Amino acid sequence: MITLVFWATVINYLDRQTLSLVAPILRDQFRMSNQVYSRIVFAFMLAYTIMNGVVGPFLDRVGTRVGFALSMAAWSACGALTALSRSAWDLGICRFLLGVAESGNFPAGAKVVAEWFPEQERALAAGLFNSGSAVGTVIAAPLIVWIVHYFGWPAAFVLVGALGFLWILFWWRLYYTPQQQRRTARAVRVPIWKLFRTRFVWTFTFSKIFLDPAWYFYVFWFPEYLKHARQFDMGSIGKYAWIPFMASVIGNYLGGWMSGFLLRRGMSLRVCQIISVTS
């Protein structure tokens, strides 16, 4: 089950990275400045931020199996739709729609972890599926550059979008919620307003506010940096843009394993979080 979520996260980041890696070509073709490109990135992040608060209750209502499949279908279609873009406005609209749809991946992944893993194993399970984000960015650089070289930039959006629909076939056939977890979910319903009064929710939210910008800078701007600051051509970007994300793959596995290791030895969750952040 966690393998399915891992590959969903890989596809999720392939969709995100496609624009980042094609941006050096599109910026020339559509005559986009840094400011215009930043607005396109902002459109994605705005939709993604807003919808994170909406998609959670939606997944709780329709269930993991249906909710994850709908989210994957939506973002794969939006990703493929980008191939029809003919201006910066088109790109901005497609990225906004992609942000709306892609917001379902990580809440759904966390829900799968909660449904299938005991508390002592959830950190490692979360690290495994979350590493798909880094694996996706590692794969994206050489794969997208290769597709663009041989088939053109529209094909990159279409082919990556098609991967999502292929994933749905496996997900729909294989995924189910354990009976015990299904009964527990029906028995325990926490009102949303109570979550906003929980210290953990605010702590986690503020940690994401300060940590995520560094990650998203690499996701959306690293190929642009290599192109315009270091004068890399597309071939060189494909060869080297994956390196920071490979380090993130290693960190996801080590971080998830270490958290579980420390929790099993009686260390508090707060101490584990502090160690993770300072590392």
DSSP state letters, 110-157: HHHHHHHS-HHHHHHHHHHHHHHHHHHHHHHHHHHHHHHHHH-HHHHH
**pLDDT, average across residues 32-47:** 92
Q: Which one of 137-151, 205-219, 263-277 scores highest in mean pLDDT?
A: 137-151
Average of per-residue pLDDT across 12-16: 91
Cβ atoms of residues 39 and 142 within 8 Å: no
219 CB-near residues (< 8 Å, 6+ apart): 13, 16, 17, 20, 137
Q: Distance between CA atoms of 98 and 90, rounded to whole angstroms?
A: 12
Confidence of residue 122 (pLDDT cuts 50, 70, 90): confident
CA dihedral 159, 247, 243, 209 (to 10 degrees): 70
Predicted confidence band at 188 (pLDDT cuts at 50, 70, 90)? Answer: low
Structural domains of the chain in order of their starting residue, each with its CATH number: 2-278 (1.20.1250.20)
For the ranges 41-55, 161-175, 262-276, which has the lowest average pLDDT?
262-276
63-119 pLDDT per residue, tens: 899 999 999 999 999 999 999 999 999 999 999 999 999 999 999 999 999 898 887
Residues 6+ positions from 69 with CB-CB distance below 8 Å: 168, 171, 172
> How many whole angstroms separate alpha carbon 87 and alpha carbon 32?
9
Instruction: Indicate the average pLDDT of the chain.
Output: 84
For residue 271, pLDDT over 70 is answered with no
pLDDT of residue 185: 53
Residue 152 has pLDDT above 80, yes or no: yes
Instruction: Write out pLDDT tens, residues 216-253.
Output: 787 778 888 888 788 888 788 888 887 787 777 777 66
Rounded to whole angstroms, the Cα distance separating 85 from 124 reads 40
